Amino acid sequence: MKPYLILFGLILCACGSGPKGSFSTTAQSDAPDYSKEENWSALPWKKDSADETPQGLIDKQDMAEVDVFYVHPTTHFGKEHPTWNAPINDVEMNRNIDVHVVRNQATPFNHIGKIYAPRYRQAVYQAYFSKDTVSAKKAFDLAYEDVKNAFGYYMSHWNKGRPFIIVSHSQGTTHMARLIEELIDGKRLEKKMIAAYLIGIPVDLDRYESLGPCTHPDDTNCLIGWRSWAFGSQPKLLKKEKGRNVLNVNPLSWTTDTLYVGPESHKGSVLIDFNDTPIPGTQNAQLHHSILWTNKPKFKGSALMLTKNYHRGDINLFYMNIRENATQRVNTYIGLK
């Protein structure tokens, strides 16, 4: 199976049956020690997947004036480990995070920021849907404590007062939306946060007292997020989210209006094979209630892609627009200092 078909959702996951028993009866691995480099998927001084770029682009972390704190999505599906939380030291899971996830989702920022990407004891995929809501909450809380501890270690030892960008996808966004509420919104760190790209999970804006959505391409100290679906899709989640104030920003216009934006504004998608150059002009975009509509991705084999949910491609589809926008926001922030 071609990797780009996997990326865009022809194969959603090789899901297991999930945890065996309640949270209290399944073993959890020890908390990660974030002073140890092996508990980070990416660090600016390490040679890692966050250093890679598609053909024609350059990694510039060594000269970057800002930091990027990135938190990866769910890769724990309960197949190899039927536990509520993933072990921190699973070799194959960490390799998947490094090679496929960090490389695809953190690298749009490696020309403008130094990338810090922690490993964490992520909650199992089934926790989002489990009827055992008590165990699910405990699993998410455990994962969040790891992310919070990683962010705290980064701030205490490596940030040194530098401005930063937050980037997250899916479960990563679940945790970073909470962390922003607890540690950044309306607090000292808010002015140091250039922007937060909280992608792939609905983020309720009403949870924040000070922070709001970015409504212009060069806004700073604000929030950005979207979830990609095929044009015309009406997923069931729209009914559940009706009336909620969900973060939704168009990654082609970087506004919150519902105007259609055509493929002439699309700077380039990146497939999972980083030997290829970015492909421009393939995507359009329009906000529809709490989701983003975009056309079916175009690549070799895309005719076989049946899903209308482009969750796995949320970042890849708009890779070059994200890369350009990060530069714009950083330049604005630095110019305002």
Burial 122-161 (b: 16+ CB within 10 A, else e): bbbbbbeebebeebbebbbebbbebbbbbbebbbeeebee
What pTM value is reported for the model? Answer: 0.94
Mean pLDDT for each consecutive 10-residue tract of the chain (337 residues)? 42 59 77 97 97 94 97 90 91 94 97 98 95 95 98 98 98 98 98 98 98 98 98 96 96 98 97 80 97 88 80 96 98 86
Burial 57-70 (b: 16+ CB within 10 A, else e): beeebeebebbbbb
DSSP secondary structure letter of residue 286: E
Q: According to the model, what pLDDT value does residue 20 have?
A: 77
122: which 2 tokens?
């992520």
Neighbouring C-beta atoms of residue 282, cutoff 10 Å:
18
- Comparing CA positions, the residue from 88, 79, 75, 68 lying closest to residue 28 is 88
Q: Please give the sequence-ordered ranges of beta strands (E in DSSP) within the chain, or none if there are none.
A: 40-42, 66-71, 113-118, 164-169, 193-199, 222-224, 228-230, 286-288, 291-294
238: which 2 tokens?
């729209």
Per domain, the residue ranges of the chain are: 15-336
153: which 2 tokens?
């270690």
